Amino acid sequence: MSDYKSLESLFNLVHVLKRQLHNQIEQLDLGMAPMHVRVMKIIDKKKPCTAIDIASFLDRDKAQVTRLVSTLIENGLITKTPNPNDKRSHYLSITDTGMDIIKTISKVDTETRQIMMEDLSPEEITEFQRIADIMAKNLRSRRT
């Protein structure tokens, strides 16, 4: 497969996946942008989690993350508590209401993953994951 075709295939997969997840989030009528959902997922997975952790994971500046976090706090989906190890930061955690949304989103993710993996063998899925991880690592190592 040519390099161009490989890159186009990846762009197509990413585009279709993002569009699918975005449409499903919109259908749930959660009143939040996909980036808010990503932030909530990060907070749910990384414990303890700070805004700096989110900014680093998303490769976004702290001001962007602060705005996202503030909106989620205002909507009662996450809370912040003082970080006992660093007085300048706070630990973020999901509220019960936020956990309900996380559970709903998790079901959507599972359904999407199942659809995406139809007609693929476990070996093909493992190989795809291996190759995608290598490609991501290669790109991360070339950041300027």
Whether residue 39 contacts residue 72, with contact meaning beta carbons closer than 8 Å, is answered with: yes
pLDDT in tens, 19-72: 888 888 888 888 888 889 999 999 999 999 999 999 999 989 999 999 999 999
- pLDDT of the residue at 142: 82
Task: Give the model's pLDDT for residue 144.
Answer: 55
* Backbone phi and psi for residue 112, each to the nearest 5 degrees, phi listed first: -65, -45
- Cα(99)–Cα(78) distance, integer angstroms: 9
User: Rounded CA gap, 13 and 7, in Å?
Assistant: 10
Residue with tokens 């907070």: 43
Q: Residue 100: which pLDDT band, with cuts at 50, 70 and 90?
A: very high
Is the pTM above the cut of 0.95? no
Residue 25 sits at the vertex; the CA angle it makes with 24 and 26, to the nearest 5 degrees, is: 90
80: nearest Cα among 90, 94, 70? 90
Domain boundaries in the chain? Answer: 3-141
Cβ proximity of 70 and 109 under 8 Å: no
CATH for 3-141 is: 1.10.10.10
pLDDT for the residue 30:
83
* Rounded-to-integer distance, Cα 94 and Cα 131, Å: 33
> CA 140: distance to chain centroid?
17
Write out the two tokens for 15: 């585009």
